[in-house]
Amino acid sequence: MSQPSSQAGVEQPGAIGGELHRLRANALKVGDVVILSLASSGPTQSIAVTLAALLATIGYASFLPLFICFIPMLGIAIGYQRLNAWQPSAGATYSWVGRALNPHAGFFAGWIMLMYYTIGTTSLTIPLGTYMLSFFSNGAANNKYDVALVGTAFNLIVLVVAALGIKLSARFQWGWAIFEYGLLIGFTIAAIVGIYGGHLHHTVHLTSSWFTLSGAGGFKALISGVLLAIFLYSGWDTAAYVGEEAKGKRAGSAAVLSVVLLFFMYTIVILAFQGIASNRVMQANAANILAYVGQQIGGGFWKQVMIVAVLGGTLASLQAAIVSSSRISFAMGRDRVFPRWFGAVSPTHRTPWNATILLGLLNVVFLWASTLIGSIGQALSDIVSTLGLMAAIFYLLTAATAVWYYRRSILQNAGNLILGGILPGLGAAFMAFVIIYSLATDSLNGVEIAFGFGFALLGLVLSVVSQKVGKSSFYSEPTASHGDTIEAELAGSS
């Protein structure tokens, strides 16, 4: 897949502020970046959360929303790849939108990404405690203080791993991925053999209705399934946030590869698991559906193994979220749109030390606040309900920026037209449709919209304050587009 070359003369983010503001360059290979992206999407944990919801929403037609969502997601990932070729940046969408479209739009994008990766982790931390304690005592698993204590311990573990270096984070993810994905593949094969070999009873066999609109329950139901599919895919953009630490400019290629791998993984695994039992039985076991799947396939021992897989997948997602959020806030601190303190880098580990520790501890604060104060817990729950739409917003902004930045070269050849215009443009249009349709059909209630979008729009207010107080050059530099440097050189030589 071809990708445009970086503009000559454009200052790369890693060069801003000298050595103290540089992350560890060339620390990650393509495979490392892909593993971090897959971990952020959290296939096992995401399937555990959405499998029953998909069955309840669109029956057995899960392939349709997964495929429909795959095409625009691939276009958006190609947009990430092309923007990363211009400027690998730990801030990714924040930097690209701000430097190509508008600095306030860039700050807004960075702010909602931080909300997505920081507040969203609260929804990961509580299940960590519940899953772990369920091995020892159902009473402890239902005790909110015990759950919060265990969740805090896991938070601190992944915080230490993230702070000690991106290479250590990648090794952690590799070790878990080999077990988690190997287990998913094994269970998928066993499910297919059990269902179609007659070893399992009361199963549901694949039919042509699984791939039709009527089988999905109609258009509105299908769109509800698409929203779930967006949640399943979201997180692959972690590849972009480690762009300054990846070898060459491979983070963009890793983003594209991550989306492709997620499509095949989700499609095959969900199509296999959803036939394990009738929809009614699956809904009855929705709270711990993958444990039920494991028990049906292999008995009580494999039920426990599946719980371990979900537990580990959730832990990996939490660690990847800390890596992502710390690099976004680091980039914003380096540009001085956040306090410069966020832009500090550990001279030993070459990680965004301050940002990593603060955001990791902030996860613990949110966890205990939601545990001890019911109103805060409800508020966080309302915000989490809007995270899918927030993801759609920053995907929309990135894809639109990719088209806008390369607008002068889109019509140069067929490759640029398809990769630089049609596919990212399709991704942007798709996300815009999902956002508008979800709001128009009241997919979110008034409280969720008020909390979620209220906090998101607060980012615009903070951007104005940042411009007035910080006086960062981020707000005064002219916006860039592909070809600016070439045109300037030609004008200078004439």
- Residue 75 clears pLDDT 90, i.e. is over it: yes
DSSP β-bridge partners for residue 246 = 28
Give the whole-angstrom CA distance, residue 400 versus residue 102.
12
Q: Specify whether the CB–CB gap between 258 and 77 falls below 8 A.
A: yes
Within 24-120, residue ranges assigned H as helices are 30-41, 43-58, 63-86, 93-100, 103-118
Radius of gyration (C-alpha) of the chain in whole angstroms: 22
Nearest alpha-carbon partner for 405 in 81, 39, 37, 43? 81
pLDDT, tens digit (0-9, with 9 covering 90-100), for 105-147: 999 999 999 988 887 777 677 777 777 887 777 677 778 888 8
pLDDT, tens digit (0-9, with 9 covering 90-100), for 298-338: 888 888 888 888 888 888 888 888 999 999 999 999 999 99
For the chain, the structural domain boundaries read 30-488
Q: Provide the 10 A C-beta neighbour count for residue 471.
A: 11
Q: Write the CB contacts of 75 (distance below 8 Å, at least 6 apart in sequence).
A: 399, 422, 423, 424, 425, 426, 427
Q: What value does the mean pLDDT take over residues 75-83?
A: 94
**HSE on the CB side for 174, CA within 13 Å?**
12
Architecture (CATH level 2) of domain 30-488: Up-down Bundle (1.20)
Tokens of 67: 């495929």
Give the whole-angstrom CA distance, residue 157 versus residue 311.
14
The rounded percent of the chain whose pLDDT value lies above 90 is: 41
Q: What value does the mean pLDDT take over residues 280-301?
A: 87
pLDDT value of position 20: 53
Q: Specify whether the CB–CB gap between 283 and 201 falls below 8 A.
A: no
Q: What value does the mean pLDDT take over residues 157-169?
A: 90
Confidence of residue 289 (pLDDT cuts 50, 70, 90): confident
